[in-house]
Amino acid sequence: MICPSASQLSSLALLGFGDCGWGAVLLAGFVNSLLIAIGAYALGFIIGITGAFGKLYGGPVGRDLWASYTTLVRAVPELVLILILYYAVPGLINEMLVSIGHGRIDLPQFVTGIIVLSVVQGAYQTEVLRGAIIAVPQGQIQAARAMGMSPAQVARRVIFPLMTANAVPGLGNQWLNATKDTALLAVIGFAELSKATYLASSATKAFFTFYSASMLLYLIMSLISIYFFGRIEKWARKGQRSSAR
């Protein structure tokens, strides 16, 4: 089908799902952004939990290594880190595969994006979780030790339940950062929401329509996330004494 030139189409037609609309492209980009954000956030959380315990109880060497990781990652712009890792990660993985006698593989951009963003997320989540663990009253941990619990039991029964409420606001911020950081992957050419918007708007010259539309998508995602993290925090604080305000 031949489309009329973009200037003759209304904003709604441009954003629609018809043959001449870019709605499907934008929506696919949005889903890609969301999937990458979820993947990076989950992987970052695993790194963060490991890092937080490592930084607090990891012994002298582990402590220093984790400290250098968080300091380095947080001092370099995300965009630059993403670029460095984008070239370094597939190379490293291939070298590892070759050294164990496996053939080289072509890492999909999607997976590289998740790994790269999770390294950034992990550093910030380490700091959030470390702060949440420190905020658990020392007496609770000592009491658990005195009851004869093993370190794993202390972590599972005392530290995790008590740190959750402290960690939720910070983790919520990090989730918002994860969704916004996916926009940076546009610079390395990954087809997420920003890249889709860029393509759609430069093809049709309807810059305002497309940028407003996709910013609205990001905004809606943020608002929904803020609402849910508020609910989670309320749930996690259940049964705790509320501080006087």
Positions touching other proteins (CB under 8 A) are: 60-61, 64-65, 72, 75-81, 83-84, 87-88, 176, 180-184, 186-187, 194, 197-198, 201-202, 205, 207-208, 211-212, 214-215, 218-219, 222-223
Scanning 101-206, the segments in alpha helix (DSSP H) are: 109-134, 138-146, 151-153, 160-181, 193-204
- We find the least distance from the C-beta atom of residue 5 to other proteins, in angstroms, to be 16
Q: Residue 117: which of 94, 83, 71 has the closest Cα?
A: 83
- Decide whether 20 or 76 has the Cβ nearer to other proteins: 76
Closer Cβ to other proteins, 64 or 95, answer by number = 64
CB 94 to other proteins: min, Å: 15
Encoding tokens for residue 224? Answer: 């929904």
**Residue 133 and residue 52 in contact, taking contact as beta carbons nearer than 8 Å:** yes
Whichever of 47 and 185 has its CB closer to other proteins, that residue is 185
Q: What's the closest the beta carbon of residue 43 comes to other proteins, in angstroms?
A: 20
- Kindly state the smallest distance separating residue 171's Cβ from other proteins, in Å: 16
Helices (H), the chain: 11-15, 23-57, 59-75, 78-99, 109-134, 138-146, 151-153, 160-181, 193-204, 207-236
Integer Rg of the chain from CA: 22
Closer residue to other proteins, CB minimum distance, 78 or 140:
78
